[in-house]
Chain A
């Protein structure tokens, strides 16, 4: 069964959601809210952004009508699946004082069993990267692990690329190759609207048993592959990753960092929307009489002054040092730390930067100045 491909007709997609509900999954997927496509609870196919697409560029995102009724005819929005696996705000524990003793009450909130509908290949890779950060080492994050273990993943292969997408450069897409339970490729061909479904796991096969399917013909598979290949040809951005770690390490004092610092707002949006950025801060709060306390974990960002605050002040006081820390960690020191790049090419940091700073452009500027210098010396 694993690796097998079948067809599901458009009208049977609801059935897929119904089966997941029957199995006790809370289905979350793309839906339109506040002028963007976000991931939220969806009970019915009708809640998907049917017939919508997104146009993205540096610092701009717009929803647009499509001329068909595609269910997944867009790319990624501002919020990744990170918000479900690594919640923005999480109570870690509470403490109560009774007499001289202190009672610690761990967070016992029930962990939802999510089925993610419409995970893109870049996002799958982002989840693998966070797996390495949170669960693959000496120190496992129990909160992430508890959520991660329970999820069911329906991936969607991208058949179009967004204006800020560069998964091809990062080798993370557009086709989902591993880590999904089921992977869909949407095909609209004249009047016919159907999905080629690849089975990734036994769990996926089990769910499919209760959904009407047909065997996929070689022509269907070819049609699906062609569409994905087309998306790969149309990436809105490119990032040359040749020797990237060394390139950045060699250029820690490059004037480009000063230039980008004149534009960077240090607002932290790029880190918040990044599907791999994982930093948090913990805050202790007390009640007025000092009888109860709580420790809360919140998303944090290397763009804030507090992030690098040690006795006496912030280590990264300048904007330049904060932007450089973020970019070089993401694309270079991440490799040393976790054995993989921290970037999956989803383009969110470009689109959702309020002033459109483009990570691919910053790297290109450094690379080009270096090769210009080199040819000057040779010349």
Chain B
């Protein structure tokens, strides 16, 4: 059998906590198979060895928050055949996008002794606002099985099975009892994309929206119901201002209640 050239994969970090890229290393049982199937060409969290580009797949973690990163992502795009963003930072701006609702200069003047040294952008933005993205994998952090599925689908030339429907579908398939209906616990599940396996409701907690807005999310209707459950306007703003605060449907909903 002729030796098949393995696809070269690179992992890139922008403004992020590293949690998503570590999901690749969390694939303990599958790691050998992953290593056998792909050439990990650039992954500083795993190895100092760096192979030169171009790369077949680039996994991009983190958001764009500095002028330097805004340039660097252009270079990553240029040397990548297929660019996949991983996690809430890369797809929605992450928790650091909370700055987008305030004046970042004020934060800098409060936090840093010498603000002049800080070079930062006014907003934390997702990768897709800067370059073309081939696939966005959601989650804070991403689900390692979904990551494997995307890499796997790419390697086998098929469409990834990454649904964009609600967390509710996952709750119902696994047999979890709805926390909102049975306890009146506010839950973002009905407007949040599936993918985590509906972990929080399985532990009697409402969904925090880690995977961001689902397809056609009706945040207005859900908020109206939350108000009936006794959630204050202020807490509604907080709920939508999590890891995916800057994702448009969540952003608009939080802004609507901030003004009330």
Contact = CB atoms under 8 A, between A and B. Distances in A.
B190 interface: yes
B180 A288 contact: no
Contacts of B224: 355
Contact of B172 (A60, A269, A290): A269
Contacts of A77: 177
Nearest to B220: A262
Nearest to A266: B216
Given A266-B216, A306-B164, A319-B218, A36 B177 contact: yes
A288 B37 contact: yes
Given A88-B173, A265-B222, A288-B36, A352 B158 contact: no
Contact of B184 (A60, A269, A306): A60
Interface stretch (B10-18, B147-155, B232-240): B147-155
B259 interface: no
A376 interface: no
Given A264-B221, A288-B151, A59 B181 contact: yes
Interface in B47-62: none
Contact of A355 (B34, B151, B153, B225): B225
A42 interface: no
B151 to A, nearest CB: 7
B169 interface: yes
Contact of A267 (B151, B176, B189): B189
A72 B45 CA distance: 57
Contact of B182 (A34, A263, A273, A290): A34
Interface string B2-33: 00000000000000000000000000001001
A305 B162 CA distance: 13
Contacts of A59: 180-181, 225
Q: Which of B33, B34, B178, B189 has the most CB of A within 10 A?
A: B178
A272 B175 CA distance: 10
B204 interface: yes
B234 to A, nearest CB: 21
Given A35-B177, A266-B216, A287 B168 contact: no
Interface residues of B, number: 46
Contacts of B181: 59-61, 78, 351-352, 354
Contact of B173 (A62, A272, A289): A272
B117 interface: no
A4 interface: no
A354 B37 CA distance: 43
Contact of B152 (A62, A286, A301): A286
Contacts of B174: 88
A350 B149 CA distance: 35
Interface in A59-79: 59-63, 77-79
A38 interface: yes
Nearest to A59: B181
Contacts of B36: 288-289
Contacts of A290: 155-156
Interface in B180-221: 180-184, 187, 189-191, 204, 215-218, 220-221
Nearest to B167: A267
Given A266-B216, A352-B178, A298 B173 contact: yes
Interface residues of A, number: 48
A299 B161 contact: no
Contact of A288 (B152, B191, B218): B152
Interface in A257-306: 262-269, 272-273, 283-290, 298-299, 301, 303-306
A365 interface: no
A299 B173 contact: yes
A315 interface: no
B221 A304 contact: no
A33 B178 CA distance: 11
Interface in A129-186: none
Given A262-B220, A283-B161, A355-B225, A299 B177 contact: no
Interface of B: 30, 33-34, 36-37, 148-149, 151-153, 155-156, 158, 161, 163-166, 168-169, 172-178, 180-184, 187, 189-191, 204, 215-218, 220-222, 224-225
27 contacts: A33-B177, A34-B182, A36-B177, A38-B175, A59-B181, A78-B172, A78-B181, A78-B182, A88-B172, A262-B218, A262-B220, A263-B218, A264-B221, A265-B218, A267-B166, A287-B152, A299-B173, A304-B164, A305-B216, A306-B163, A306-B164, A354-B168, A354-B178, A354-B181, A354-B225, A355-B190, A355-B225
Interface of A: 33-36, 38, 59-63, 77-79, 83, 88-89, 262-269, 272-273, 283-290, 298-299, 301, 303-306, 317, 319, 351-352, 354-356
Per CB-CB distance, the 7 closest pairs between chain A and chain B, nearest first, are A272-B172, A267-B190, A34-B177, A88-B173, A304-B165, A267-B168, A265-B190
